[in-house]
C-alpha cells in the first residue's frame, strides 16, 4: 500500500468527477484520503443509501451504521487538497 505522502493530489472538483456518472470511477474521500469504491456493489451508480460518490464523506460518517474501518476495505488512490 502506498503511503499518504506518495499519493497523487486531487482537488474537490477532480474528486467530484469520479461520481460514477461523469466517469466510471467511484471515489469518495474520508479525512483527506480518497478511496476507490468502484468495485463495491454497494456503491453501484455512485450512490450508497443517501450518500453520493465524488465527495468528502468525513462529516457524514458519524451518521453511518459502521465506523471508519470500512475504508480499510478500499484502495487509497489520492489525497484531497
CATH for 4-80 is 3.10.120.10
| Band (1; pLDDT cuts 50, 70, 90) | low
Question: What's the whole-model pTM score?
Answer: 0.87
Residue ranges per domain, the chain? 4-80
The predicted pLDDT at position 2 comes to: 57
pLDDT tens column, 24-65: 899 999 999 999 999 999 888 888 878 889 999 998 877 776
Mean of pLDDT values over 5-27: 93
Closest CA to 18 of 29, 27, 9, 31: 27
- What phi and psi values does residue 76 have, to the nearest 5 degrees? -75, 130
Closest CA to 34 of 49, 22, 19: 19
The predicted pLDDT at position 76 comes to: 97
The predicted pLDDT at position 3 comes to: 67
Amino acid at each position: 500500500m502506498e503511503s499518504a505522502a506518495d499519493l497523487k493530489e486531487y482537488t474537490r472538483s477532480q474528486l467530484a468527477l469520479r461520481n460514477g456518472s461523469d466517469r466510471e470511477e467511484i471515489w469518495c474521500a474520508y479525512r483527506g484520503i480518497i478511496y476507490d469504491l468502484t468495485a463495491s456493489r454497494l456503491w453501484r451508480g455512485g450512490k450508497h443509501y443517501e450518500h453520493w460518490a465524488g465527495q468528502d464523506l468525513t462529516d457524514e460518517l458519524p451518521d453511518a451504521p459502521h465506523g471508519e474501518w470500512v475504508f480499510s476495505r478500499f484502495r487509497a488512490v489520492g489525497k484531497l487538497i
